[in-house]
Structure 1
C-alpha cells in the first residue's frame, strides 16, 4: 500500500471508532481481518496514523476548522509525519486508493489557523473539561504536560534482576537502539518510533522468553521501587492486576519474604501465573478471594495499592481513552479509590507502610484522595517523600515533582515517563 491507501484506511478506522464508539484496538483489528492483503508494514502504518490522529485530535481539528475523521487523519500527517500540504498532495496524486487531495479551502484554512493562537486546551490536545484539573496540578506548565501526553511514547522494559543484569540484556537487544533508562536502575528504553515505523516485537525475543525482561513503563518501575519492598518482608499487593508491579516487587525482594497478590476482579489476575513462572518468581501467593485475606490483617510490613483510576497518565499510549472519559467516570473512580484505601489500610501492621499509586494526572485521584484518607485515619502519616526519593534514586530528585508531604508525581514532560503519582504513608507503631 502507498501512503494514499494507508491514509484512506486510517480515515475508515477513525470513522468506525467515532460512529460505533469502539476501542481503537478493536477497530484496527477488525480492519486488518477484513483487509488480509495488507502486510504487517501497512497495518503498522495505518495504526500509527490512527493513534497520531487521536493524540493530536484537537490540534488537527483546529487547523482544519473541522472535526471529521478526514481532518484528524490528514492533521496527523501534517503534525507528526513532517508532511506539508504540498508534499501530501504530491504523494496522493495518481493514487486511485487515496482520499481526495487537500482542497483549496482546506489549504487556506491550514494557512490561516495557527496553533500558537489556539486556546490552551487545544494546544494541550485535551478535552475542555479536563483542562482545569491539569492546570490545578501543574500550574503554568500544564499545557506542556498535555502536549507531552500527546506525543508518541517509547517502549520501556524492566530487567528481571532475578535472572539477568541490565548490561546482559542490552547486549541481547543490540540493534534495537535500546539504552538504559534515565532514572530506573533496571530499565531499558527503546525510543519512540517515527513515521510508519514500528517497535520491535520484544516478546518474540529469546531474552523475553527466558524471563530476563518485562515490558513496563519506567514510571511504573519507579513507583514499584518507591513502594519500599525489601528482602524478607511481608507484602500485600492489593490491586495486583496482571502482576507487573508484583514481579518488580519480587525482584526487589530478591525472592525473599512473601508477597500476597490480590485483585477484586479475578479475571485481571489470569495472566499473572504464566508471568510468575517465566520470571522465576517464587515468593508470591495469588489470593483471589477477599475473605482469604482476613489472616493478614494488621500483619503486613507493606501494602501496595495500585489503584484503579482514569489512566490519564497513559494517554500517549491509549489516546482514545481521553476522548471516552467522562466526569461521571472520574467520580466513580474517586469513590473506588476512597473505598480501596480504607479496605487496604486494614492490613498494614503498626509501624508498616501503605503505598498508594495511580497512573493519573488529576489531583482529585491523587493528593485529594490522600488528604481525605489522612483526615479520617489519624494513625497514618506521610513519610518525607523528598528523602524517600533521594534514598532510592540518589542525585535524581530533579527528575520528579516532589512535595515532601503531598507525594511524588512523575510526568511525560518532567520525568520522561508516563504519568504516575506515588504517596507513601506510615502507620503509627
Structure 2
C-alpha cells in the first residue's frame, strides 16, 4: 500500500471508531479481516496512524474544526508528526486509493491554526472531567505532562537475571540498539522507528529462552520499590499476566516464597508460559468461578510478610501506550475502579502479618485512585494500618525525579520517562 492509501485506511478506521464508539483494537482487527491484501507492514503502519490520531484527538479537532477521521489524521500529521502543509497536501492528492485533496479551509487551518488559546484539556489532549484531578497531581507541570502522555512510549525490556545479566542481554541485543534504562538496574531501552514500531522482540530467540521480558521501566521500578526480600512470603494479589511477580522472583533470586493470584482467573492465563520460560519460582493460585468459588488465600490471613497490590485502575498513567483508553474513560468507570481498589486493599490488609508490609501500586495519575484510596484504607483500619515512607534508595537517581504525594510517590512520563506509576508503602501495626 502507498503512504496515501494507508492514510485513507486510517481515516476509515477512525470514522468507524467515532461512529460506533468501539475500541480501536476491534476496529483495526475488523478492517484487517475485510482487507486481507494488506500485509503486516501495512497493518502496523495503519495502526500507528490510528493511535497517533487518537493521541491528538482533541488538539487535532481544535485545529481542524471537525472531529471526523479525516480531520484527526490531517491535524495529527501536523501536530504529532510535524509535517508541513505542502507535505500533507502531497499525500492528500486524490489519486487512486489516496484521500481527496485538501480544501482551501483545510489548508488555511493547517497553516494558521494554533493551540495558544486552547483550554488545557484540548492543548493536553485529555478528557475534560479528569482535568481537576490531573491538575491536583501535576500542578504547574500539567501541560508538560499531558504532552508527554500524548507522545509514543519507549520500548523497555527487563533483563531476567535468573538467566543472564543485563550486560549479557544488552550484548545479545546490540543489533537493535538496546541501551540501559536511566533508572531501573535491570532495564534496557530499544529505539523505535518514526512510525512508532519497534523490532519484533517477542520472536527473538533470547526472549523465547526467557532472557528478558517486555516491561515498562516504571513497572520495573514499582516492582523494585515493593522491597521484597529473600526468605519472605510475598503475595502478588492482582498479578494479572504476571509481569511484577516475575520481576519479584528475579529481584529476590527465587529466594522468596512468591504467591500470585488475581480475582479474574482469565487474566492469569499468560503467567504459566511466562514462568516456564523465565525459570521464576512462583506459586499460582487460580480462583474458581461460579458456585464453587472460594478464597484461595484464606490460609494465609495474618501471616504474609509483604503484599503487593497492583490495583485495577483507569490506566491514566499509560495513555501514551493506550491513547484509545482515555477517550473511553467515563466518570462511572472511575467510580467502579475506586470501589474495586477499596475492596482489594481491604483484602490485602487481612493478609499482612503484624509488622508486615503492604505496597499499593497503580498506573494512574488520578488522586482518587492513589492517595485517596490509601486514606480510605487507613480510616477503615481504625489505626491498625499506617503509611510509611517508600525506600527510594533501591533505585539510584529516582529520589530526585519522582513527585512526592501525601501518601506515596508518583512517577510520570515527563519526570521519570516512565508510565505514570504511583507507589505507596504501608505497614500493619497490630
Give the TM-score normalised by the residue count of structure 2.
0.96
Deviation at 1:94, TM superposition (A): 5.8
Q: Are 2:400 and 1:398 equivalent residues in the alignment?
A: yes
Partner of 2:388: 383
Deviations 1:129-188 (A, max 9, x none): 111111011111111111111101111111111111111111111221221111110011
CA distance in 2, matches of 1:240, 1:208: 21
CA distance in 1, matches of 2:54, 2:286: 38
Deviation at 1:10, TM superposition (A): 0.1
Deviations 1:218-266 (A, max 9, x none): 1111001101111111011111111111101111111122111111111
Gaps of 5+ in 2: 289-293
CA distance in 2, matches of 1:207, 1:192: 19
Q: Are 2:354 and 1:355 equivalent residues in the alignment?
A: no
Deviations 1:374-417 (A, max 9, x none): 122212112223xx112x113431121124x5101010111100
Residues 44 and 197 in structure 1, CA contact (< 8 A), matched pair in contact too: no
Q: In structure 2, do the counterparts of structure 1 residues 26 and 169 end up closer, same or farther at CA, with 3 Å as the change threshold? A: same
Residues 360 and 425 in structure 2, CA contact (< 8 A), matched pair in contact too: yes
Q: In structure 2, do the counterparts of structure 1 residues 263 and 138 end up closer, same or farther at CA, with 3 Å as the change threshold? A: same
Partner of 1:162: 162
**Secondary structure of the structure 2 residue equivalent to 1:349:** strand
Partner of 1:303: 307
CA distance in 2, matches of 1:155, 1:294: 39
CA distance in 2, matches of 1:419, 1:38: 35
Residues 223 and 420 in structure 1, CA contact (< 8 A), matched pair in contact too: yes
CA distance in 2, matches of 1:162, 1:288: 28
Residues 13 and 50 in structure 1, CA contact (< 8 A), matched pair in contact too: yes
Deviations 1:64-85 (A, max 9, x none): 0111111101112112223122
CA distance in 1, matches of 2:163, 2:287: 27
Q: In structure 2, do the counterparts of structure 1 residues 197 and 383 end up closer, same or farther at CA, with 3 Å as the change threshold? A: closer
Partner of 2:75: 75
Deviation at 1:120, TM superposition (A): 1.3
Partner of 2:417: 416
Q: How many residues align?
A: 424
Map 1:1-150; keep pairs closer than 5 Å: 1-93=1-93, 95-150=95-150
Partner of 2:236: 237
CA distance in 2, matches of 1:59, 1:183: 32
Give the TM-score normalised by the residue count of structure 1.
0.96
Partner of 2:276: 277
